[in-house]
Amino acid sequence: MKTTAFIAETPFYISSAELGFAQRHADRYALYRVYDVLREPRFFSLEGDVNDVLGLTPVTYRARGGRTTSPRVCCRPDRWSRRWRGGSRGSRISPSGRG
């Protein structure tokens, strides 16, 4: 089931695990799309092979460094931590949030 507060045609995300399950069980798979949930909830179902009933576009990728890449450091750790804590030396933010 995929829900949205918007119109029925609003794009939605489907994970690679969900997609794999849908493809392995295409003969008995149904995706229920619930829409307009905040005003007048309605739904429809899409049955069968998701490749036939949905327009699928890959939008995310998992990335990691591998043996063929060598890590490159862009700046010294002390400079990075200063930036992370709030920018220039005069504007550090303490963990309590009180400056």
pLDDT along the chain (99 residues), means of 10: 96 93 96 97 95 92 71 58 49 47
How high is the pLDDT of residue 86? 52
Cα three-residue angle 13-14-18, rounded to 5 degrees:
165
Beta bridge mates, 33: 2, 44
User: What's the total number of domains in the chain?
Assistant: 1
Is 82 part of any domain?
no
CA–CA gap between residue 57 and residue 65 (Å, rounded): 25
Residue 93 carries which DSSP code?
-
How high is the pLDDT of residue 61? 81
How high is the pLDDT of residue 79? 55
Non-local (6+) Cβ contacts of 10 within 8 A are 4, 35
Is 62 part of any domain?
no
How high is the pLDDT of residue 75? 59
Q: Please name which of 66, 58, 17, 10 lies closest in space to residue 35, comparing C-alpha atoms.
A: 10
Is 48 part of any domain?
yes
Instruction: Tell me the pTM.
Output: 0.59
CA–CA gap between residue 96 and residue 99 (Å, rounded): 8
CA distances (Å), origin 94, targets 22, 35, 76, 87, 88: 48, 44, 21, 12, 13
Structure tokens at 27: 């003969």
How high is the pLDDT of residue 70? 59
How high is the pLDDT of residue 62? 81
